[in-house]
Amino acid sequence: MTDPPQTPIRFTTQQAFASRLTIATLTGRPIRISQIRPSSPTNTGLAPHEISLLRLLEAVTNGSTITISYTGTVLDYRPGLITGSASGSGASGGSIRHEVAAGCARGISYFLIPLCLLAPFSKAPMNVIFTGPGVITSATPAGDISADSVRTAILPLYAKFGISNNIELRILRRSNLGSRGRGGAGEIQLIFGHQVRLPKTLHLLNPGRVKRIRGVAYCTGVPASNNARMIEAARGILNPMTADTYVFSDVSSAPYLPGKDKGTPASKVRLGIGFGLSLVAETSTGCLYSADVVSPPTGGVPPEDLGQQCAYQLLDSVGQGGAISFVAAPTVLTLMAMSSEDVGRLQLGKEVLSTEQIIGLGRDMKAFGLSGWGFRETATGQADDVVVSVVGKGVGNVGRKIS
């Protein structure tokens, strides 16, 4: 006799859409999201980037069921087994090619961060290539970080959970925001070949002191002097903090896309023109803080202003305290909840912990049946930090367990 189907967990609005889908896939719990932009006069229901994320989840899982209402305002999602790039409907030749449509206004990190959370619990290694006119590798005004920050500030944190082998993020073609804030025609490849049964329990209570700063200044379709001007402005602020500061300069041409008349070479359109800067500060204990800025699609902002803005943003991230930055906190807290049934501890800045995104993440985890968080003051008496205790659920990698 088969077990009755689980009752879906109900959520409303499109807030934390990617996070809720990710936790649902990790825990195997079905969800129902309603009231998705019901009052929007022109864009009712799911947005293009949310549809693309659902397609990606369908490609890396086996047995998932996705049902969308006629108006697009209600979504029913029943997750399947995370199979990664194993041979099946989504993979071909050991990799999955995911095309992002031109209407996408979110950066590639909107897809990469959830995918990296699923990859350690996959049945097979994850090898996904993101392509299409909607791939934006830079940061975006919507709050998405750049692919460089994912590679240098998010992926190294997986090593603290015992996940460090065969992990690589390749930026095959850079791109910035398009002319109207949409699409950039970049190309990214994520290789995640380290799968585990359960992540290690994390104890990260000593932020340490900043010992080095690294970064990437990138420009696409504009003169390389923009990179040099951003780097000089940023170093002017950061050098007094630490002398070990190095920012790499990456210059690339803008990608061309066929125009309306595909038979005419002159009708090709250049997309993804712009420049940006990604900075990461590393402490003596291996903690990371990041900052991202990018030129607006309309232009008009000199590179010196962007360099100074990114440097001040990095200093603000370090000043918020804690052992991890705001952009990495959801990833670390989710992995702590999925680890073995032991108490993990993480020192967070109160400014980071009190943000709407982190508070909402804690509420969503409680709705999925994961353990609540405990709080206490730090042993060193730092008034701006708090120690967060998370008890792992021990769900782990079901695919690795039965394979």
**pLDDT tens-digit profile of 271-327?**
888 999 999 999 999 999 999 999 988 888 999 999 999 999 999 999 999 999 999
Helices 329-338 & 356-367, crossing angle to 10 degrees?
20
- Residue 125 is predicted with a pLDDT of 92
Tell me the average pLDDT across 228-249: 94
Question: Does 102 have pLDDT greater than 90?
Answer: no
- Residue 98 is predicted with a pLDDT of 94
The whole-angstrom separation of Cα 322 and Cα 60 is 34
- Residue 97 is predicted with a pLDDT of 93
- Residue 251 is predicted with a pLDDT of 93
Question: Does 262 have pLDDT greater than 60?
Answer: no
Tell me the average pLDDT across 175-192: 84
Q: What is the pTM of this model?
A: 0.93
Contacts of residue 363, defined as CB under 8 A and 6 or more positions apart, other chains included, come to none
- Residue 403 is predicted with a pLDDT of 42
Tell me the average pLDDT across 57-62: 92
- Residue 280 is predicted with a pLDDT of 97
- Residue 4 is predicted with a pLDDT of 65
Question: Does 237 have pLDDT greater than 70?
Answer: yes
The whole-angstrom separation of Cα 67 and Cα 82 is 19
- Residue 371 is predicted with a pLDDT of 86
Amino acid letter for position 134: G
Mean pLDDT across the chain = 89
Question: Does 369 have pLDDT greater than 50?
Answer: yes
